[in-house]
Structure formats: structure tokens, C-alpha cells
Amino acid sequence: MALSEIDTGPFKVTPSIYYHLEQGLARSPDKPAVIAMHQAPSHLGELLGGCPNGAGACLSWSYTQLHHAALRVAVGLMRIGIETGETVVTFMPNSVEYAIMLWASAMVRLTLACLDPGALSAARGPELESLLRRLNPAVIYVPSVGGAAVVDEALLDSGIQPPRVKICHDAKQVTGWLTFEQLATNGGEREVDTEEVLEAARHDEPSRVCIINFTSGTSSGIPKGCPRHVAAMSHVFENNPWDMKDVRGKPVRFVLSTTNFRVIAPQFTCAAWKAGGTVIMIPPSPSGGFNTTGTLDAIEKHGATTLLLIPVMLHLLLAEPSFTTRNLNSLGAVMVGADIIDRATFTKAHNAFNHCRVSCAHGMTESGGTVTWPFFDKPLDMIPYVRDIYPIGKLVPGVAARIWDHETKRTTTRGEPGELCFSAESVIKRYLDNVSPESFFLEDEKQWFRTGDFSVMDADDVIFIVGRIKDVVKRAGIPIVPAALESCIKAYTDEETCVVATPHPQLGQEPFAILKARSSKSEEEIKTHVVTMFGRDYSLAGVASLEDLSLQDFPLNSTAKILKFELQQRLEEFRKIRRIES
């Protein structure tokens, strides 16, 4: 029987981020590159110089305007003495400032590390100091006076070498900080030839680290830094795995619905810009979560064509009271991803956006752009699935993949589960500070990355991620994938469900179901239903609700993924109390 391994062969890339951005500039010089719905049309108008700022309800910059503003910032940095290869750290919400820094960093060939603005809070002081020490930035950006004070205090307390350039929107009120306008106007005395800068940016060094993103830290609570090389990002843009292109003959208008400190932001932003499209930035939600009304406004008022939603965002958007009354005709492509997608979730998205091309979009911080969706022309009932889980797609050119069984030390056969491993230019070569070196290995003259995904490859080269290795429950040696049980229990009880492992003295582990709210179905009914659907090997140890665990909602990380290790801690406390009471 065929083994679970594929190699799509070599793929040549053009190693330059700016080269890809310039394609959009050449194609759509006067079309909007960025729309920031929550920023005024006059915001940062001084940066535009000879480029007139358009009127309107919100900020909308053309490619020419964004290029001009970013070039002025780039030149300002270089005149002060910032060199290629140095690091820029930002703590910013989605805004035109983010667009400027992303574009300018490509021009100067800097390493851009966009970090969570929440790290500027007092409670996260040690984390902030650790990040500054590890990244050693030459340039830092914060959006407010308060953020500037927090950074200055962290630098003073830790003895870290201060960045040579500190940028703040309100810098006129803070000593030692510059505004973007001051940087562009009153930079140092060093002479800078802009044509030389741009020509050098078109021919970048393939191995240069251009972006550092951090993982969500779902498994351990400690995010890992992921340095992405120029060649890695170029591999993603040239493969265009997310089908980022014109929609119904119009340039793509992508809604940036996720935070910019996640890898989705630079990858999708630059892919949209390469296509000559527009990146639409929605206002931050007053509650700090996903802004459903802002997303619908982006579609209805600004003609958004392309939308990426993780499952929790999809459910929130469809639950928004005004969803059914909105005009969503401009929307042509909806991607659901960044998590395991079960059949119920994909069907829900397909039915809600039945006038769109709906797909699953795989992507992890370490290995974005390795697969693409091959099922656009297939009806819903013809798309394959495994245990109610939809596939992530097929490999793009320039990628090798295999499914590995670590217990037997072999590549699995088709249909047999194991850990998904990738070897590709688009995959990181190591983590920042070389943490977790066991995630990388050399074999067959290739460097491989262990994704931690429990996966299956079918006879048609389609790859399915059915769970995370760390979440798999080993009951009497039988691997149980929580995602399949979660989908089954949710369909039966109509309650969001999370399945975690709980220890057992003889069986090793057992699956335990935690429901968001108490169901009309009893614990015994739910346990019986699972046995009926999956067999006795999948028997649940028990069922509880969040209320039983003294929780109001599932604990989530910044990307709205459930922190299962926190649930497990709460569950063991709950079970200990229940044993004592019984």
C-alpha cells in the first residue's frame, strides 16, 4: 500500500518582499491599497507630501500614497543610521501605521516583529522585558503616550540597550520619542539615495529574516518566536495558496479581521498588495473581541470581496442580529481556517455564503502557504472528509510532506494517522533562541518540521488534520481525536463542546467532555450516544459544563482558540471535589 508521503518538486522563488509589493503598485497606482475604517481621512496627512489626501468618511490611501509615505519613513530611518537587517518592534492595533511599517521594512530590508499591544499592560511587565531583550530592536513603535512610558520604564529597569529610534503617534508629549512626521522631516544628516534603496530592496538576501511572529502558546502558555526568511515569504506569495486574486473581475478587497501580531496579517496583506488589491482594516471592537458589525460594514460599505474567518469568528458573525439584512453581494471568497474544521462548521459557512467560493485555509505560524484548496468546483457532498473533519487541501509546488508514526518510527500508509511533517522553503528553519530544537530534523538531505498535527493523507494526496498530537487522548493505547468527538457531541446536544484527556490508572487516559452550558441531554445519554457513534473504545469518562468548573466561558488565547491545559486543570479540581463528596 502507498506510503503517506509526497514531494511536489523544486520551486524557484524571487527573494524579495518589496518585489512583490511593487507589482501591486505598478498595477494599481491610484487604487486604494489600504482602507482604515476607524481612522480619519486626514490622519498622518503630513506624510503624503505632494500626494493629495482624498476626502471621505475614513482613511483611504492609494498605492502611490502608501508607497510615498513608507518611503519617507524608510529614508528617515536610514538617515538616522538604521541598517539593513536590524529589527523593528511594534505594538499597534490594525491601522495605516501598520501598513507603513510593513512596506517601509521591505524597502530598508529590516526584520519586522509585530507584537501584542496587550504586552504594554502593567501585569505583563516581565513578558515585555523578555521580548525586548530577545529581539533587541533598533526601532520601536507604540501608539500612545502611556505605551511609551511603559517601554521606557521596562528599558530602564532591565538595563536593556534602548532602541535608537522610538516612534509614538503622540510623541510630541514624550521626551526621546518621534512621530512619523518628525522622523520623515527631521531625520539624521546621512545622505540616502532612494533609487539605490529601492533597487537593493528588489534583490534581497533569501536567508535574511524579514518577519518574526509568535505562536499563540496554546499548548504551554509560552509563545515561540518564528523567524520567517525572505525566501519563505516569497514562496508563499508566488504560490498564492489562498487564491488571492480578482473576484468577479474586480481587484481583491481583503478584510483584515485578525490582529497584526499573527502571521495571517503580513501573509494576507502582502498577498493582497501583490495582486493590486485593497486591505480593509475594521475598527477594534469595544469589547476587545471580534468586531462583527465592523466586518459586515467592511463588506457592505467598502465592497469587501474576500474574508478569512476562524470558526469562532464564523459563529459570532452569523449570530450577529443584522447579518441576514446586510447586502453581502460584493463578497466572493470566504476562507474558514486556522483551526480544525468539522463538517458542521464548513456546511454552515457554505450555506451562509452560498454565493461565494468557500474553502478551508490552512496556516500555522511556522509553515504558512504549504497547501491549497482543490475543491472549488466540487459540490459540498463530493468533498472528502475523515471522521467529520474536512481536509486542508493538497500541497502547493515546492513542498514535501509525510505522515510519521513516532511509535513505530516509520512513514504511515495512506489513510493511517500520524504526525504531519513538512519540508519546504516556506517553513521556518528554527525557533527564535533555538528553543524546541526537537521540532526540526534532517533526513534525505531535507530539513523537516514536525507540525504537531495528527493527520491523515488519502489515496488522492489530500491531507486532513484531525487533531493536535498534544490533544490526542490515548485510551488503552488507542488514539482518540477530540475534534471528532466534539463535533458529534455538539450536534447531539447543540452545545459547544471541548474534549480533553483525563488520567485513568489502568487505561492511561480517558476523554472527558466539557459543554459550554448544561444540556437537556443527561450525562448518561451523551455517553451512550458517543458509544453508539464511535464504539466502546471511545467511551467518555464523564461530562461536565463550564458552570460545573466555575467558569463562565471557555478560556481562550488571543486567537480565540481554547486553552485546553487550563480546562484540564479546572477539570481535575472538579473531579477531585466530586470524589471527596461521593
SS3 per-residue string spanning 150-191? HHHHHHHHHCCCCCCEEEECCHHHCCCCECHHHHHHCCCCCC
| Residue 577: HSE in the Cβ half-sphere, 13 Å Cα cutoff | 9
> What angle is formed at CA 304 by the lines to CA 300 and CA 309, rounded to 5 degrees?
105
Q: What is the CA radius of gyration of the chain?
A: 24
- Indicate the helix (H) or strand (E) that contains 228: strand 225-229
Average pLDDT value over all residues in the chain: 90
Buried b (16+ CB within 10 A) or exposed e, 388-418: bbbbbbbbbebbbbbbbeeeeeebbebeebb
Write the single-letter amino acid at 520. S
Do residues 427 and 232 touch, judged by C-beta distance below 8 A?
yes
What digits encode the pLDDT tens for the residues 69-101?
999 999 999 999 999 999 999 999 999 999 999
Q: Where are the domains of the chain?
A: 64-204, 245-467, 472-581
Strands (E), 489-548: 497-504, 508-515, 542-545
What digits encode the pLDDT tens for the residues 312-359?
889 899 999 999 999 999 999 999 987 888 888 999 999 999 999 999
Q: Whose CA is closest to 385, among 458, 305, 334?
A: 458
* Three-state DSSP state, 219: coil
What digits encode the pLDDT tens for the residues 156-204?
888 888 999 999 987 777 888 999 999 988 766 678 889 999 999 999 9
Q: What is the CATH number of domain 64-204?
A: 3.40.50.980
Write the single-letter amino acid at 525. E
Instruction: Determine the average pLDDT of the residues in 485-512.
Output: 89
Residue 364 has a pLDDT of 85
Residue 506 has a pLDDT of 86
Classify 245-467 by CATH class: alpha beta
Do residues 88 and 136 touch, judged by C-beta distance below 8 A?
no
Residue 52 has a pLDDT of 66
Q: How far apart are CA 363 and CA 120, in angstroms?
A: 27
Do residues 335 and 308 touch, judged by C-beta distance below 8 A?
yes
Do residues 21 and 33 touch, judged by C-beta distance below 8 A?
no
Q: Whose CA is closest to 215, among 432, 489, 68, 360?
A: 432
Burial class (CB in 10 A: 0-12, 13-18, 19+), 175: exposed
User: Against a cut of 0.85, is the pTM above it?
Assistant: yes
Fold of 472-581: GMP Synthetase; Chain A, domain 3 (3.30.300)
Q: What is the dihedral of CA 100, 103, 105, 107, to 10 degrees?
A: -130
* Three-state DSSP state, 226: strand
Q: Whose CA is closest to 394, among 13, 8, 2, 9?
A: 8
Number of neighbouring beta carbons within 10 Å of residue 186: 12
> What angle is formed at CA 201 by the lines to CA 15 and CA 227, rounded to 5 degrees?
55
Residue 462 has a pLDDT of 96
Range of lowest pLDDT (72-86, 108-122, 564-578): 564-578
What digits encode the pLDDT tens for the residues 17-61?
999 999 999 999 999 999 999 999 999 998 987 666 666 789 999
Write the single-letter amino acid at 269. T
Q: Establish whether domains 245-467 and 472-581 are of one fold.
A: no
Residue 449 has a pLDDT of 95
Identify the DSSP state of 308. Answer: E
Tell me the percentage of the chain whose pLDDT exceeds 70.
97
